[in-house]
Amino acid sequence: MALLEIKNLHVSVGGKKILNGISLALNAGEVHAIMGPNGTGKSTLSNVIAGRDGYEVTEGQVLLDGRDVLAMAADERARAGVFLAFQYPVEIPGVTTSAFLKTAINAKRRAEGKPEIDAMEFLKLVKAKQKILGMPDDMIKRALNVGFSGGEKKRAEVLQMTLLEPRVAILDETDSGLDIDALKIVSEGVNTLRSPERAFLIITHYQRLLNYIVPDHVHVLVGGKVVASGGKELAEQLEAEGYARYLSAA
């Protein structure tokens, strides 16, 4: 059984059809990349899996370990191991990053029947992970994402991912906004999380990211549908040729 299985998923937003029958199976240990032109439904797919309101699933299923993900509330999905690194992380004034991280870590620990994390242990853990991602220590004292630069927001998303250790991580354009060095650092962060128990769905516009995080499968999403799938060479081909051939076929 695949870790995450998307079966014939059809989704509308406000009566407008966005996803037109997507099927993907992510096995544990795999990294899948999705590429596709702007506005083809990549973020819609991520949001539907993560459980954002406002999307109407008209057909199809999403299963995590065979469990019906779409029947679960967003917070339940996250505790079950679904993680979405947002394309546009929101700024939340007044909520410190550290209070937020601690609440999120404890929500997960509680769901696993573990005691709450000790304050010292928490700081040590976060500090260590921040260091790996090249983030300053005092970042977590600031309000969540408020005034963070584009790249800092993306690093903060990856920090959350490494702290929450999800089973399925969806990275929606996590590479956009990162400088050349940050791209390497963040990719290494993702690579250290790669494990036989975990799967990744990486949405990107640039093949360069996939030089660092080498995918097992690459899919092309056009018009709310997977129009081609292949290995990492498919990304290279897209980089060279663009989407023209898929657009005319769609």
Partner 1 sequence: MKQSALLVHPFGARYAAALPAADSARREARETLALEGLPGPKREEWRFTPLRGLAKIPFIPAASAEDIDVRDIPADVPRFAGAVRVVLVNGVYRADLSDKVSEAGLAIMEAKTPDHDVHAPLAVLNAAYMSGGVTIAARGVVAKPVHIVSIGAAGAEPAAFHPRFAVAVAPAAKLTVLETHHGLPGQPYFSNPVTTISVGTAGVLRRYVLVREDSEAFHLATTVADVAADAKFDAFHLGLGGALVRQEINVDFVGEGAAVRLNGAYALTGRAHHDFTTFMNHDMPNCTSSQVFKGVVDGESRGVYQGRLLVARHAQKTDGQQLHKALFLSRGPQIDCKPELEIYADDVKCAHGATTGEMDPDHLFYLAARGIDPQAARLLLVQGFLADALENVDDAAVHDILSAEISGWLMRKASA
Ligand X SMILES: Nc1ncnc2c1ncn2[C@@H]1O[C@H](COP(=O)(O)OP(=O)(O)OP(=O)(O)O)[C@@H](O)[C@H]1O
Using CB under 6 A, which residues numbered 82 to 101 contact ligand X? 87
Verify binding: residue 53, partner 1, rule CB under 8 A: yes
Instruction: Give the shortest CB-29-to-Mg ion separation in angstroms.
Output: 26
Written as one string, the DSSP assignment of the chain is --SEEEEEEEEEETTEEEEEEEEEEE-TT-EEEEE--TTSSHHHHHHHHHT-TT-EEEEEEEEETTEEGGGS-HHHHHHHTEEEE-SSPPPEEEEEHHHHHHHHHHHHHHHTTPPPPPHHHHHHHHHHHHHHTT--GGGGGSEETTT--HHHHHHHHHHHHHHH--SEEEEESTTTT--HHHHHHHHHHHHHH--TT-EEEEE-S-HHHHHHS--SEEEEEETTEEEEEE-HHHHHHHHHH-SHHHHHH-
Instruction: Give the shortest CB-110-to-partner 1 separation in angstroms.
Output: 9
Interhelix angle 119-132/150-164, rounded to 10 degrees, is: 130
Using CB under 8 A, which residues numbered 152 to 171 contact partner 1? 160, 164
Using CB under 8 A, which residues numbered 95 to 134 contact partner 1? 95-96, 99-100, 103-104, 107-108, 111
Task: Tell me which residue of 162, 52, 149, 62 sits closest to 104, measured CA to CA.
Answer: 162
Over the window 1 to 40, marking each residue x when it contacts partner 1 by CB under 8 A and - when it does not, the resulting string is ----------------------------------------
Q: Which does 39 bind (CB under 5 to 8 A by kind): partner 1, ligand X, Mg ion, none?
A: ligand X
Task: Pick between residue 158 and residue 220 the one whose CB is nearest to ligand X.
Answer: 220
State the Cα–Cα distance between residues 70 and 59, nearest whole angstrom.
Answer: 11
Task: Pick between residue 39 and residue 147 the one whose CB is nearest to Mg ion.
Answer: 39
Among 43, 130, 145, 204, binds Mg ion (CB under 5 A): 43
Q: Which does 92 bind (CB under 5 to 8 A by kind): Mg ion, ligand X, partner 1, none?
A: partner 1
Cα R_g (the chain), whole angstroms: 18
* 33 and 204 Cβ atoms separated by less than 8 Å: yes
Over the window 9 to 48, marking each residue x when it contacts ligand X by CB under 6 A and - when it does not, the resulting string is ----xx-x-x-----------------x-xxxxxxx----
Task: Pick between residue 101 and residue 218 the one whose CB is nearest to partner 1.
Answer: 101
Instruction: Give the shortest CB-163-to-partner 1 separation in angstroms.
Output: 9
Binding residues for ligand X, rule: CB under 6 A, are 13-14, 16, 18, 36, 38-44, 54, 87
Query: Residues in the site for partner 1, rule: CB under 8 A?
Result: 50-53, 73-75, 78-79, 83-84, 86, 89-90, 92-96, 99-100, 103-104, 107-108, 111, 143, 160, 164
User: Where does this chain bind Mg ion (CB under 5 A)?
Assistant: 42-43, 87
